[in-house]
Amino acid sequence: MSQFFQIHPENPQLRLIKQAAQIIHAGGIIALPTDSCYALVCHLDDKNAVERLRRIRDVDDKHHLTLLCRDLSEISQYARVDNRQYRMLKTATPGPYTFILEATKEVPRRLSHPARKTIGLRVPENPIAHALLDELGQPLLGSTLILPGEDDPLTDPDEIRARLERQVELIIDGGACSLEPTTVIDLTADEPVLLRQGRGDARMFGL
What residue ranges do the domains of the chain occupy?
3-205
Instruction: Provide the whole-model pTM.
Output: 0.92
How confident is the model over 36-58, as pLDDT tens digits? Answer: 999 999 999 999 999 999 999 99
- The helix or strand, by DSSP H or E, that contains position 19, with its residue range, turns out to be helix 14-25
How confident is the model over 110-130, as pLDDT tens digits? Answer: 777 777 889 999 999 999 999
pLDDT band at 62 (very low <50, low <70, confident <90, very high): confident
Q: Mean pLDDT for the chain?
A: 92
* Residue 3: exposure state from Cβ atoms within 10 A (0-12, 13-18, ≥19): middle
Q: Taking 80 as the threshold, does the pLDDT of residue 86 lie above it?
A: yes
How confident is the model over 143-162, as pLDDT tens digits? Answer: 999 999 998 888 889 999 99
Can you name the CATH fold of 3-205?
DHBP synthase (3.90.870)
